[in-house]
Amino acid sequence: MNVLITGASGFVGRTLIENLSAQNKFKVSGSVRASSQISVDDAYVVIGDIDGDTSWQAALQGIDVVVHTAARVHVMRDSVVDPLAEFRRVNVAGSLNLARQAIAADVKRFVYLSSIKVNGEGTLPGKQYTADDKPQPQDPYGISKAEAEQELRSLIEASPMELVIIRPPIVYGPGVKANFLSMMCWLWRGIPMPFSLTRNKRSFVALDNLVDLIVTCVESPAAANQTFLVSDGDDLSTSELLHAMGEALGKPACLFPVPIWLLTLLARAIGKPAIAQRLFESLQVDISKTRTTLDWTPPVRVNAALKKTADSFIALQRKT
């Protein structure tokens, strides 16, 4: 089976290519935006920026399955004038353009890596998002992903190509960036944090678990034209995550109690309500459909995945 991975140099794309390449039943190629993103070019195609005009012809020749991981990702401090327009240019127009060319190239299946932000930004206590919930995206990134899903369904339902959509929550693993990396840096430095009273629950997914599900969706007949949510299957509060990550790093978390209402008020006062939401509110996903439809179980437990992430972080710290 010939598989094309877009975003081959990205956090998910790199590991996905390694996983698929290790299995003899797949012949894998990847696309990147620039030749500087790769060290070898025999299995990669440079396609430039992704938008509605990108040519994918060279990358799609002989391909059976496309896994589209490339995207304009969530940006904490976006500097563009119109973030939504920029997200739509890459994530909506770019994805549709690829899908149209994939149909023309007789690609059999299109696996689209979306985001739990299509569902929304948080769940009520005791509630979980499901794959069949009405989308309620709230930020430009989530809106663009929801629009891309809708447009892809409309385009592909009239074609012989199959569509599979996967919505992950926060993905972590070796090389993780953004907030997860910041958390590890705080723990590594022994910085006290006022989060011991958190009782929220949030779903996360280890990179290895996400990649395993993507591989399943590449080849499973049951995945055709389905939408799946994914997680590690073990939801954690902010304090539980910090304690578990601290143990993995060998740097016990130093947490002290401050009322959550006060921390939330302070975050809003300094214009950071989104940070308070991620730290103190819940976001849980129901992966029962994924388990039953695909006969899939996350292969890596949370503690093992956190340890692998921590070991990579520690190795990098020792080099610097």
What would the two tokens of residue 111 be? 């696996």
Over residues 42-52, mean pLDDT: 85
Q: Which domains does the chain have, with CATH numbers?
A: 2-172+206-232+285-298 (3.40.50.720)
Q: What is the CA radius of gyration of the chain?
A: 20
Closest CA to 170 of 218, 205, 121, 135: 205
- Between CA 163 and CA 113 the distance in angstroms is 11
Q: Any idea which residue has 């055709």 for tokens? A: 224
In angstroms, what CA-CA distances link 256 with 62, 154, 202, 276? 57, 51, 20, 17
Q: Which of 44, 112, 129, 141 is catalytic?
A: 141
- Between CA 284 and CA 123 the distance in angstroms is 6
Residue 284 phi/psi, 5-degree rounding, is -120, 145
pLDDT at 41: 52
Q: Is 164 helix (H, G, I), strand (E, B) or coil?
A: strand
Kindly report the average pLDDT of the chain as a whole number. Answer: 93
DSSP secondary structure code for residue 174 in this structure = T
pLDDT at 160: 95
Over residues 202-217, mean pLDDT: 98
Tens-digit pLDDT profile for residues 80-95: 778 899 999 999 999 9
Q: What is the 3-state secondary structure (H, E, C) of 267-286?
A: HHHCCCHHHHHHHHCEECEC
pLDDT at 82: 87
Confidence of residue 43 (pLDDT cuts 50, 70, 90): confident
Confidence of residue 74 (pLDDT cuts 50, 70, 90): low
Percent of the chain topping pLDDT 90: 83
Answer whether residue 75 shows pLDDT above 70: no
pLDDT at 275: 87
Stated pTM of the model: 0.94
Confidence of residue 73 (pLDDT cuts 50, 70, 90): confident
Over residues 143-165, mean pLDDT: 96
Confidence of residue 318 (pLDDT cuts 50, 70, 90): confident
pLDDT at 220: 97
Tens-digit pLDDT profile for residues 172-184: 999 999 889 999 9
pLDDT at 283: 97
Answer whether residue 308 shows pLDDT above 70: yes
195 HSE (CA, 13 A, CB side):
22
Reply yes or no on whether 44 is catalytic.
no
Answer whether residue 42 shows pLDDT above 60: no
What would the two tokens of residue 246 be? 């601290």
Closest CA to 103 of 56, 148, 144: 56
Over residues 18-24, mean pLDDT: 91
Over residues 100-109, mean pLDDT: 97
* 42 vs 210 pLDDT, higher one: 210
N- to C-terminal Cα distance for the chain?
41
Answer whether residue 23 shows pLDDT above 80: yes
